[in-house]
Structure 1
Amino acid sequence: MDKLLKGIVNFRRRDFESHRELFKGLKSSQKPHTLFISCSDSRIDPNMITGTLPGELFIIRNIANIAPPYRISSEYLATTSAIEYAVLALGVENIIICGHSNCGGCAACLHPEGKLDDLPHTRKWLELIHPVRDRVLKEIPESEPEARAWMMEQGNVLEQLKHLVTHPYIAERMEADTLQISGWHYIIETGEIFIYDPNLCEFLLANG
């Protein structure tokens, strides 16, 4: 806790002061250009890896960067409501699903049944990527764990892109060419980002 307290003091003295005018402009409104859906993993920093400032990204974080398929429900839908707000209220122009290497959520799906019995809500949440898990287990042998992890992480990104299009207001805006969606795979240990190319049907290294 002491480290966090020192951090907020340093922020106020250093970072805030250097961006005082930016924060003043953000006082009463926000106009982010991108909805960034990433994993809750502590190793992922959306603003750092994209070089963006406060006000540019509307960020959703959850286990395994999942965007559930569209449905009407009386339940409390945190991720779904945040997607709705970003698109309909804030008018974002882009949506990025950002998966990453060594993803614990994706890895947990590949564990034997019963591994998540002590984490019932996590287990239920990860059911949303069981179709990806089933393909990975069918196509990649157990003797190739790295290949399984890679396919699971990238396949999960593609699964979430498919889920996004089930939201009618997203599909409408994509059809009108006012909204773009993109899938990324971020490699923690190298800083590389692979972006899915729908024409080539593969993830390509972003080189600028």
Structure 2
Amino acid sequence: MPEFRELIEGYRRFRTGPYIEQRTRFDALAQGQSPRVMLVACSDSRVDPSRVFDTAPGQMFVLRNVANLVPDYGDAAGQASAAAAIEYAVCVLKVHQIVVFGHARCGGIAASLSGAFTDAGPGQGQFIGKWMAMIEPARQQVVAAAALSPDVDAQRALEQAAVRLSLANLRSYPFVTAAETAGELKLQGAIFDIADGSLRVLDPATDRFETVPVTLPG
């Protein structure tokens, strides 16, 4: 397969370049990891958290799934992979921060708005539909608001609502709430737009997403 051959060529570039250049770091990482930040990010191939935040290997513990969602603790048994990653990050790695990292033009959010995979059968979006049903109440609110006002950007509104929901769901985990209450853990929401490179961070005081200022060259 040509795609896999491209991956192998990428590995060779990595092995003869960055791996050698950061050999001390990789030697240390071989003994274990101690990231201080966990990211819940989307699986979208266009948005790589390590590139956006310019981090080195070992700095972030990353959970990626469709639309960067966190299931509620009450539903965690059915979403064991996501719950296990959160539990490991908080209880074992003792991360200091969890960032729910959304992005603009998210395909999962678009699918939720369109209802494309609602009640879909096997191989037709069955699992996507069940996963995105997690934000159905928020979707209904956004659709209703958009119907009343043509100025509402439903895609953007639901992307933001999904980040807020994931933050709320994180706090439904007893060990997350305990760590946050003890001042050992902070939760943060952010949304990146690949079209213009902007990053908006959720301000807990105003519940608004504010753009991070950047001084560009030239």
Length-normalised TM-score, structure 2: 0.90
Give me the whole-angstrom Cα distance separating, in 2, the residues matched to 1:152 and 1:76.
Answer: 21
Q: Is the 8 A contact 1:197 1:203 kept in 2?
A: yes
Distance 1:203 1:30, change over 3 A: same
How many residues end up aligned between the 2 structures?
Answer: 208
Corresponding residue of 2:184: 178
Q: CA deviation at 1:138?
A: 1.0
Q: Is the 8 A contact 2:146 2:152 kept in 1?
A: no
CA-based RMSD? 1.9
Query: Larger % of helix: which?
Result: 2
Q: Which of residues 77, 80, 92 in structure 2 aligns to 1:89?
A: 92
Among all aligned residue pairs of Structure 1 and Structure 2, give the percentage whose two residues are the same amino acid: 31
User: Structure 1 regions of 5+ residues with no counterpart?
Assistant: none
Corresponding residue of 2:32: 29
**4+ aligned runs moved over 6 Å, structure 1:** none
Give me the whole-angstrom Cα distance separating, in 1, the residues matched to 2:175 and 2:103.
Answer: 27
Task: Name the SS of the counterpart of 1:166 in structure 2.
Answer: coil
Corresponding residue of 1:19: 22
Quick check: 105-114 or 181-190, which moved more? Answer: 105-114
Post-superposition CA distance 1:2-41 (Å, at most 9, x none): 2111100010000101100000011121000101000000
Q: Which of residues 2, 6, 19 in structure 1 aligns to 2:5?
A: 2
Q: CA deviation at 1:141?
A: 2.5
Give me the whole-angstrom Cα distance separating, in 1, the residues matched to 2:209 and 2:139.
Answer: 19
Q: CA deviation at 1:99?
A: 0.8
User: Structure 2 regions of 5+ residues with no counterpart?
Assistant: none
Corresponding residue of 2:109: 106
Task: Name the SS of the counterpart of 1:3 in structure 2.
Answer: helix
Give me the whole-angstrom Cα distance separating, in 1, the residues matched to 2:117 and 2:55.
Answer: 41
Corresponding residue of 1:206: 212
Whether 1:132 and 2:156 are equivalent positions in the alignment is no
Q: Is the 8 A contact 1:108 1:116 kept in 2?
A: no
